Structure 1
Amino acid sequence: MEAVLTRTEQLRRSIIFLFLRLRRRHGFSLIYALAILVGYFGGLGSVLLHRAILWGDHFFFGVLGQLLVGVNHFRMMFLQASEEGHLLIHVLPHYRLFFLILIPAGGIMVTALLIRRFAPEAAGHGVPEVMVAVARNGGVIPPHVALVKTIGSALTISTGGSVGHEGPSVQIGGAIGSAVGQFFRMSSNGMRVLVGCGAAAGISASFNAPIAGALFAAEIILGDFAVSTFSPVIVASVIAAATSRAYFGNSPAFEIAGMYTLNHPVELPLYIALGIVAGFASLYFIRVFYWVEDRFEALKFHYLLKAALGGSLVGLCGLVFPQLFGIGYEPITSALAGRLTPLVLLILILLKPIISAATLGGGGSGGVFAPALFMGALLGDLFGQIAHGIFPMLQAAPGAFALVGMAALVAGTMRASLTAILMIFEITGSYEIILPLMLVTVTTAMVTHQFEPYTIYTLKLAKRGIHIGQEGDVDILGRLKVAEEMITDIEPVEVETPVDQILARVKTSKFDLFPVVNASHELVGTISFQDLRPILAEPGSLTRMLIADDVMNRDVLTVTPDASLLDALHCFGVRDVNALAVVDGSPQNRLIGILRRPDVLQRYRREVLFAGENTDQLLPDGGKNV
């Protein structure tokens, strides 16, 4: 085993050495070669997930459906019947409809069991977990998450779970990028970039939209448009799109029935109105989604019973509205073509967040990107039909509003305006619709932000106590730990030390905070310049009479080594102090170091500088010790 590991290590070092030589001679960086690798395998992972969903759909709604219900591919038949205004009870006998509930219930139960046993990180959307890995864990994602996420998401979606495959593709690609980075022992910055490359590959391959994939990774996952970060992401996104096209061709993700354009500037007020409506629809999506998911989490049932409940709810709603089954691309295509009635559109809009939350709350695996597109397309179609009813001479087709509505819901729920605009632009291939797209997405994002500071991704993390900023450089401190900057070479003051001895130490010390410990080295207080200033005006005899216990501040604000520097910076601001005591986090509160504010700010400035200008920071050990 050791010989195998040695050969693997030699291979790793040889590859890195080769690319470092290429870099010195030809300016070729290892990070770009790894971006190509991650882009290819990230795109391949998305292709595999898509194929697995198609195979599962054929089996569960084709082979198994014919066995249980007596109709082959009955989901497509139900969709057609629903568009024609018929309910399922008009298509099948009542007793056979019961089997329709069993398929999503069984799929979500198996998924919940699989994830709970093998990879709890694979539960839920996928995107928030990747965001945490990038912001707090140095880009580390366990490699087996990719396999479990693929199987779990394929099971959930192919059995009717009302979620998308884009979020899982992001997590699968991110896990692949992390695995590549871990193999080559990349730096923390390099790991982050490779995870971003994997995320971009997932979106790019899912939608055949390389520009949108790269922007999604930069906007949502990395929060960074620095050249050294964004360039490898673009490379990975392009490679992933090429990989996807090799399997599925160069067709758009959705069938567009014609070219939509802005016919006259008089239509712009209607698009602004759609943006406002979409803003409130985004709020409805976010809040209803998490309200339902929280209700599932509050249930004291066994997790398999929760899965059965969530799957049964999906099946029951699918009895009446089969458009809620699966990813939902068929209803989106119907909305773009204007084939759904206003009443059906309204009901589906109201139900979609509930059923998506029931799918994930029950233990299923899938993303919320596709549900947002689903709701946006149907909302835009409904708005367009109402607008045509009020203004019969309106030239813009309802499909144009549906297309713009898709971008609006992505911008409103995820604050990914650039991604939304360029994704729809790539799907349509038409520049003419870009003005309404820009106007609607900005309007929607503004309305949503007024009432909800979190996105559908960051709200999930905020509920766990994890706050990830969207401000780019500020979040650098959220990735760094107190342990990296704390000073451990300190001499604490014992609780019985005379004050005159403390004053003597102050004159020669580089610190302005002195932790006070007892005989067991437990932190009991601190002494700062502010605590000593009143004593300096007193006679010297008084300082000889007082001890540390008499003057120390017992209300101590501390941090632990695993806290982020961003959390520490907040603590500095709470008390307006320049140093914090670092404790081990045990009940004994043992002192292990000091963290100084100037050191934190200096680290921040250094990280910002290197993030924007030094690509060697992406390499193992900065490219020095390979």
Structure 2
Amino acid sequence: NTYQIIAPLMVSCIISVLLAGWLKKESIYTDKLVRRGINIRRGQDINILKNIPVKSIVRSDILTLPETATLSEIIQKMLSNTYQELFIVNAQNEYRGHLSWKYLARIARDETELENLVVAADIARTDIPTVFENDHLDLVMNLFARYGVEELPVIARNGRPLLIGSVHQKDVIEAYNREIQKIDLAGSISGIARTTASEKTVKLSGDVHLHEIEIPRHLIGKTIRETDIRKRYQVQIVLIKRTGSEQSEHTPQASIFPDPDYRFDSGDHLLVLGSDAALRKFQENRTD
């Protein structure tokens, strides 16, 4: 009937928890997320859109009208196109305002009285914000929700509001879905690679294998676009595991999807798809 054991028991439990956390950072609940490339401690994927710039999905084929266009010309222009929104510019292509079918519907009833009196500059919405190419899509989605539009103007960041193009809500959603698919696929492939860590090879079908290899020396410092690996060696890079000197806080995921402009680093590991013969040719830098 003594309680003296409670204090040492609590201390031993605390030490055990700390030691377990140091030896294995993830719990059984977060380990699956990590395998999918999701780092909840960094908040990396709580909002994926914060990592996607506007310039990656900016549209250049937009509908514009001069600020001197009459109401009749505006309506005729929109009727002859499939665009739901257009942008008003001056003679120097500087952004002056925004118009949409929804907004014009309230004005179109009085077209016969106003068609020769009102010009685009008079009725264009100037409260719709603009975005820059380097802004992230998280900001864009918040603006869509706040202002009830489906398209926002993208302007140059040089002191003058030169209209570059637009960013559309549909494109933002598609970009988000693509990033989710990349994370899921990367996590699935990483899982396959981990389960065969000892052999570093997974047979898929026939002579086609999934191999994990160290970056060949002849690729270090070059980009995927420069090497043209798929055409020269008949090998497809599926995933890049970054452990080299370029890894930083801006690239928290260990596994990334291959990008044509990605420059290989000395510590990289590649997950490649191809036949054994093609893989040997790739590693030996042979193109025969």
Which category of TM-score, normalised to the shorter sequence, fits these structures? 0.5 to 0.7
Q: Distance in 2 between matches of 1:486 and 1:511?
A: 16
Deviation at 1:486, TM superposition (A): 0.9
> Gaps (5+ residues) in structure 2?
29-39, 190-237, 240-256, 262-271, 274-281, 283-288
Aligned twin of 1:561: 133
Q: Which residue number corresponds to residue 477 of structure 1?
A: 49
CA offset at residue 424 of structure 1? Answer: 4.8
Q: Which residue, 597, 605, 622 being the options, matches 2:169?
A: 597
Tell me: CA distance 1:610–1:401, structure 2 relative to 1, closer, same or farther (3 Å): closer
What one-letter code is carried by the residue in structure 2 that aligns with 1:608?
I
- Which letter does structure 2 place at the counterpart of 1:521? N
Q: Distance in 2 between matches of 1:540 and 1:584?
A: 37
Identity %: 19
Q: 1:398 to 1:602 in 2, by over 3 A?
A: closer
The C-alpha deviation readout for 1:536-574, integer Å capped at 9, x for no partner, is 222424223311012111123111001111221121122
Q: What's 2:235 paired with?
A: none
TM, length-normalised to structure 2:
0.55
Corresponding residue for residue 22 of structure 2: 423
Q: 1:404 to 1:501 in 2, by over 3 A?
A: farther
2-side partners of 1:612 and 1:425: how far apart? 23
2:175 aligns to what SS in structure 1?
helix
Q: What letter corresponds to residue 494 of structure 1 in structure 2?
A: P
AA aligned opposite 1:592: I
The 2-side partners of 1:504 and 1:425 are apart by: 66
Q: Residues 566 and 493 from structure 1, CA distance in 2 versus in 1: closer, same or farther, beyond 3 angstroms?
A: same
- Deviation for aligned residue 1:592: 0.6
**Structure 1 counterpart of 2:76:** 504
Aligned partners of 2:59 and 2:165 also within 8 Å: yes
- Structure 1 residues 342-396: Cα deviation after superposition (integer angstroms, max 9, x where no partner): xxxxxxxxxxxxxxxxxxxxxxxxxxxxxxxxxxxxxxxxxxxxxx9xx434264
Partner SS state of residue 592, structure 1: strand
Listed as ranges, the matches of 1:38-437 within 5 Å are: 391-394=3-6, 396-397=8-9, 399-403=11-15, 406=18, 422-424=21-23
1:619 partnered with 2:258: yes
1:551 to 123, 147, 154: 123
Q: Distance in 2 between the 1:497 and 1:527 partners?
A: 12
Determine if contact 1:531/1:552 at 8 Å carries over to the other structure. no
In 1, Cα distance between the equivalents of 2:169 and 2:107?
26
RMSD between superposed Cα atoms in Å: 3.4
Please name the residue that 1:572 is paired with.
Answer: 144
Contact 1:535 1:543 in 2 (8 A): no
Task: Name the structure 2 match of 1:493.
Answer: 65
1:514 correspondence with 2:86: yes
Tell me the TM-score normalized by structure 1: 0.27
Shift of 1:402: 4.0
2: CA distance between counterparts of 1:558 and 1:620? 29
- After superposing on structure 2, the runs of 4+ consecutive aligned residues of structure 1 that deviate more than 4 Å are none
- Cα distance, 1:484 vs structure 2: 0.9
Distance 2:183 2:24 in 1: 30
Unaligned runs of 5+ in 1: 1-387, 408-420, 427-436, 439-454, 459-468
2 CA distance for matches of 1:492 and 1:552? 12
Q: Please give the alpha-carbon distance, in whole angstroms, between the structure 1 residues aligned to 2:155 and 2:94.
A: 9
Give the count of matched residue pairs. 184
The offset of 1:529, in angstroms, is 1.9
More strand by share: 2
2:165 partner amino acid: G
Letter of the aligned partner of 1:403 in structure 2? I
Q: 2:113 & 2:146 partners in 1: Cα distance? A: 35
Distance 1:609 1:491, change over 3 A: same
Residue 557 of structure 1 aligns with an amino acid whose one-letter code is P
CA distance 1:602–1:620, change in 2 (3 Å):
closer
- Distance of 1:620 and 1:520 partners within structure 2: 36
| Residue identity opposite 1:490 in structure 2 | I
**Distance verdict in 2 for CA 1:424–1:498, change over 3 Å:** same
Residue 425 to residue 396, structure 1, CA distance change in 2 (3 Å): farther
| 8 A contact 2:153–2:163 mirrored in 1 | yes
Distance in 1 separating the partners of 2:89 and 2:176: 31
Match of 1:293 in 2: none
